Structure 1
């Protein structure tokens, strides 16, 4: 379990709403006049920190170096406004409890789920004037270290230099506003743009070719008789005779064989090209205007953070 801390240690630190958003800087811690337990904190509201809101510590939690409360930022900003330097009366406390929807604690009841240790000298927090006022909440006197740290934190937040803070210069009338703008960080990410399939199929291609073929035929010729032929036929016999000839003919024959004819290599390669990227960037602009009395000349100053024209080139 993390060690408990005194409530004054959070003076100058941020107050966070229930969503973790920063509401403002904690100014003061207010203690119950009877139980000496911390009940309220006052927080600076607005960009210039000129408004203050009281926030109950019921359900507060420590978030690292900051303090988190179970209320949203708008509820805190719309809380009833009271003088942060004065003692909170019972009526003012009841109005605040009603605004936050928090049950009013009973007599001498400490804050539910108290996360703070009792500060040294907290028993003396309530003044005699507070006791005469019939109860309520007052601020506890912070130690010199806490006060110094609060002043230093406030000075740094308002943009006052360390040298000015150490020298004790009072720049309460000076207001420093921080202007912010967005920066674009362009990057790339790899996404799937498609898929390629490599598939081999078989198809048929028709062909036609003329091929020479030959065949055998019978040919009959008349030739003169020789003396041997006449001598062989003097017997005068006439008889039948049968001879057989085998004829041959050629015909086309198709035979097939598979042979490799081409080799393909398929791979991926990265092609780099330029693509235009565009968008809108937001930036804050600070305008300072002065309200003038009727009939007076307007001498207010207006600041425009847009870039101006380039400077003229140097002379010869």
Structure 2
């Protein structure tokens, strides 16, 4: 087992063998306990080009001839809780890792009873330490990217899907009102006027001889009626205009702008270890 920091250098890039003495990868990084400074976890590169690192408790590993042997199968190690490398482990993640390896069961059966490994006391002590361990938040540098144990990574991207929906854009009303206007019309009218003509009569004419003698006390008069036209005003209602209001659909184009995120995958092949 790794007892102090002197073993740290010996573990870098060491080969890791499983319970069947088969090489499953190489040591990636060593994580130290915040309180004691002793190595707590070691990561093993399992994927292609070392793209997948899985955490294994240091106390469960056994150095042998410069290599590291773990009492677990490769499939079991692949099923360990997924914890981001290159970041400080949170107390919750540390507890989950210890529980997983203490139970000795695959990830889908973590709630099953322990298989009999004599690590109960050691696990309890480590869980108590993780409850008070302070750590910085994980740096989620791979958010939204899926990776599996075979070194395959799937990138996703957001695409814009645009649809339309109807909404009220305005209203139109037909409203009729009465407006009064003054109109002047020149109307031609006719009227009769009295025309007086005086004419002298020849006394020797027949008209003068036929005139009756003037009777005493009798006056004669002739009444003439004069007429004239006057305007007569009447109102009538007539239709002057008809207004039809309808609707039509007009095709138009509107610009839609949105920010879309896209994942890109880079493969870095680097043998230098930061821890």
Normalising by the smaller structure, the TM-score range is 0.3 to 0.5
Larger radius of gyration: 2
Q: Higher relative CO (CA 8 A, sep ≥ 6), structure 1 or 2? A: 2
Q: With structure 2 as the length reference, what TM-score do the two structures score?
A: 0.47
Q: With structure 1 as the length reference, what TM-score do the two structures score?
A: 0.41
